[in-house]
Structure 1
Amino acid sequence: MENVVLIIHLLLALSLIGVVLLQRSEGGGLGMGGGGGGAMSGRAAATALGKLTWILAAAFIATSLTLTILAAQKGAGSSVLDRIMDAPAREEAPEPALPGTGEDLLPPSADDTAPLTPTAD
């Protein structure tokens, strides 16, 4: 259930972004003004996209509230501090094996195969 609402929420967010980007700029917010016409022109396009924006925004808020309610029901009865206090103690990581014991995964280097006693020249 939560995954379905989350996917619908994502699709609504992407649709809302697309519809807002399709709208014509009416103010001089960035100093550029509105561009040329698109597939639709005039006042009808502005009202249609405006209504669609309001519908998508309302649906987006509804899915946001639904996701919040679902998350609250899933985590009801416990707080974050309770989960931290009840968590098992972390185990210490084992110490790494020393080189030359046969437990390492790398092949021996040239230094490992050299004799350890000095040779007299």
Structure 2
Amino acid sequence: MENVVLIIHLLLALALIGVVLLQRSEGGGLGMGGGGGGAMTGRAAATALGKITWALAIAFIATSLTLTILAAQKSAGSSVLDRITDAPAPSPAEPDLPDAGGSLLPPAADDTSPLTPSAD
């Protein structure tokens, strides 16, 4: 059931993106510009694409709410804290470090290893 609703949700999202991209740009952003209708009306004429956009948006919100309800019902008896307390505590083991002579410190100044240049 959840997978079916999720697939419908994804298809609605793609359709909503496509319909929004097909609409004519009115410029001005946030509904500030353009429009059909009267000279001073604040509402543009409802087009077929506008109605389809509203229908897809309502269906998208409905599937979002449905998915939320399904997920809440699935995890109704458990909590994240219950899963943390049930898990065994990890043992404090030594981390795996590369073996570089047994020390992570840089070589001392008087060290005469072949990697350090000699002061001649």
Shorter-chain TM-score range: 0.5 to 0.7
Structure 1 partner of 2:77: 77
Distance in structure 2 (CA, Å) of the matches to 1:87 and 1:74 = 21
Whole-Å separation in 1 of the counterparts to 2:91 and 2:67: 35
In structure 2, the partner of 1:28 is 28
* Cα distance between partner residues in 2 of 1:2 and 1:88: 31
> As a proportion of its length, which structure holds more helix?
1
Paired letter, 2:13: A
Give me the whole-angstrom Cα distance separating, in 1, the residues matched to 2:7 and 2:92: 40
| Partners of 1:10 and 1:61 in 2: CA distance | 12
Q: Distance in 2 between matches of 1:11 and 1:92?
A: 48
Aligned counterpart, 1:61:
61
Shift of 1:90: 4.0
Structure 1 vs Structure 2: percent identity of aligned residues? 85
- Tell me the TM-score normalized by structure 2: 0.60
Provide Cα deviations, 1:10-57, integer angstroms capped at 9, x if missing partner. Answer: 00001100000000011323xxx8xxxxxxxxx6xx610000000000
Mark the runs of 5 or more structure 2 residues left unpaired by the alignment.
35-44, 97-120
2:14 corresponds to 1:14: yes
Q: Secondary structure at the match of 1:24?
A: coil
The alignment's TM-score, normalised by the length of structure 1, stands at 0.59
Instruction: Give me the whole-angstrom Cα distance separating, in 2, the residues matched to 1:10 and 1:49.
Output: 20
Across the aligned residues of Structure 1 and Structure 2, the Cα RMSD in angstroms comes to 2.7
Structure 1 92/6 Cα, relative in aligned 2: closer, same or farther at 3 Å?
farther
Specify the code of the residue in structure 1 equivalent to 2:78. S
For structure 1, list consecutive stretches of 5 or more residues without a partner in the other structure: 34-42, 97-121
Change in Cα spacing, 1:91 to 1:9, as seen in structure 2 (3 Å) is farther
- Offset of residue 88 of structure 1: 3.0
